[in-house]
Structure 1
Amino acid sequence: MAVVASRCTGLLLPDLRTSLAGLRRRSTPASSLSLRPRRGRRRLGSLACVAPPDSAEPQTDEQAAKDDSTEDKAETSSASQDAGTPTFPNKDLSRRIALLSTIAAVGLFASQRLDFGGVSLKDLAANATPYEEALSNGKPTVVEFYADWCEVCRELAPDVYKVEQQYKDRVNFVMLNVDNTKWEQELDEFGVEGIPHFAFLDKEGNEEGNVVGRLPKQYFLDNVVALASGESTVPHARVVGQFSSAESRKVHQVSDPRSHG
């Protein structure tokens, strides 16, 4: 059997035409055979080039265009899926949100403080002179009876603070909380019925006058100036404005005997 080498696959394939011719000769009767010399060269059988299954055939331009189109569609589909997928904030974004929230909270707190001029009753009480010290240091004194729940007291706090900062070297400023049972005697002594109640005392501790409730800042300032100047009287000895009743006070026990609040 003739064998032909395949350039495509590297396999040796039989020459089928030569094999068929041999079969035909065997099937012909011996009487009909004529022995004739054959001339010329024997032709090799033709061979079809068969590519192995895993070999890659060269692509035409049309096939390449189809492949590119398929890849573009796949990329477009992937992009649309990404666009539809919700994104979650990363750590940096969360930190920024937290920082903005903190700034907003601080701004809200500052705006609330600015409504009262940035000064609270606690600020005044913290900077106040203790009552016992005020009676013994030889300076005139302004005693304010107040309560944390008193709206008028909170409203007047900025004006009191401004005057206090201007005259604190020459005048004592005392804060007595009417809710504190420690000051029961002083409440009776000064006749406190409404708050805020401002009592103006000379150097010896004698009361020269008082101002009660919401009144123009000038009333309070005029009396403080008179005390700081050593005058024997104050311009506004007895003036009453809108006030909160002292009967609404919330009595509590004193935890620290030295406290003037």
Structure 2
Amino acid sequence: MDELLIEPGSAKDKTSQVTETSSNTAFPEFPNKNINKQIAVASTLAAVGLFLSTRLDFGVSLKDLSAAAVPYEEALSNGMPTVVEFYADWCEVCRELAPDVYKVEQQYKDRVNFVMLNVDNTKWEQELDEFGVEGIPHFAFLDREGNEEGNVVGRLPKKYLLENVDALARGEASVPHARVVGQYSSAESRKVHRVVDPRSHG
């Protein structure tokens, strides 16, 4: 079989020279539009994924927690230890801690009651006084008989909440973090947030 020889100066040889020359030029190449599209799509997907994961993690609202909470009267009579959270919808720290509270609640809800008492509801005035609520969120940890074993006020590490709830669930005589005060909202703010019936003004 005859071999095909390409002589210098032939058409095929010139093509290869042109290709070599163009790849070595200093002219900037036009960006590949497909790569730009792929980067844009990947960036968008990453942003959506980040949003969704944040939404899933922080998507638990105080309203969700309140809806899932055990009624206070039931919690005091069912023979299980109880965590009472005094909160308000306007309380930033309360909202911030909601996902952590939810995770702990999901882990222990079969062994510990989780009660949510809104400080804006005048129905809970007696409990606010009884538990000495001055800042929110205010977490009170009660044993099976309803005796307060400790309380944590304000922003707390999830670890503290978890360890206290775990101690309650195991029937320990006390909770490891019995008196902790972090950054909190003043419960006195509830007076500003009370809704006054406009009909009561002449």
User: Scaled by the length of structure 1, what TM-score is found?
Assistant: 0.53
Cα distance in 1 for residues equivalent to 2:92 and 2:56: 13
Residue 156 of structure 1 pairs with residue 114 of structure 2: no
Moved over 2 A (4+): 110-113
Do the aligned partners of 1:116 and 1:154 also contact (CA within 8 Å) in 2? no
Give me the identity figure in percent.
Answer: 82
Alpha carbons of structure 1 residues 183 and 237: separation in structure 2 relative to 1, 3 Å: same
Show the counterpart of 2:112: 171
Change (3 A) 1:192 1:114: same
Contact 1:195-1:212 within 8 A present in 2 as well: yes
Structure 2 residue 59 is matched with structure 1 residue 118: yes
* Deviations, residues 21-44 of structure 1 (Å, cap 9, x unaligned): xxxxxxxxxxxxxxxxxxxxxxxx
Aligned length: 145
Q: How does 1:82-231 map to 2 (within 5 A)?
A: 114=55, 117-231=58-172
Do 1:147 and 1:178's aligned partners in 2 also have CA atoms closer than 8 Å?
yes
* Unpaired runs of at least 5, structure 1: 1-106, 254-261
User: Which residue matches 2:18?
Assistant: none
Counterparts of 1:116 and 1:165, CA distance in 2? 14
Shift of 1:201: 0.2
Q: Post-superposition shift, 1:251? A: 2.5
Higher relative contact order, structure no. (Cα contacts within 8 Å, ≥ 6 residues apart):
2
Q: CA RMSD in A?
A: 1.8
Structure 2 CA distance for partners of 1:116 and 1:203, relative to 1, 3 Å: same
Structure 1 or 2: more helix by fraction: 2
Per-residue deviation, 1:150: 0.4
Match of 1:251 among 184, 191, 194: 194
Structure having the higher Rg: 1
TM-score calculated relative to the size of structure 2: 0.69
Distance in 2 of aligned mates of 1:228 and 1:251: 35
Which one of 233, 240, 253 corresponds to residue 181 of structure 2? 240
Q: Secondary structure at the match of 1:218?
A: helix
Distance 1:246 1:172 in 2: 23
**Contact in 2 for aligned 1:192/1:246 (Cα 8 Å):** yes
Partner SS, residue 77 of structure 2: coil
Supply the AA of the counterpart residue of 1:235.
Answer: P
8 Å CA contact retained: 1:113, 1:119: no
Amino acid at match of 1:204: E
SS in 1 for 2:84: strand
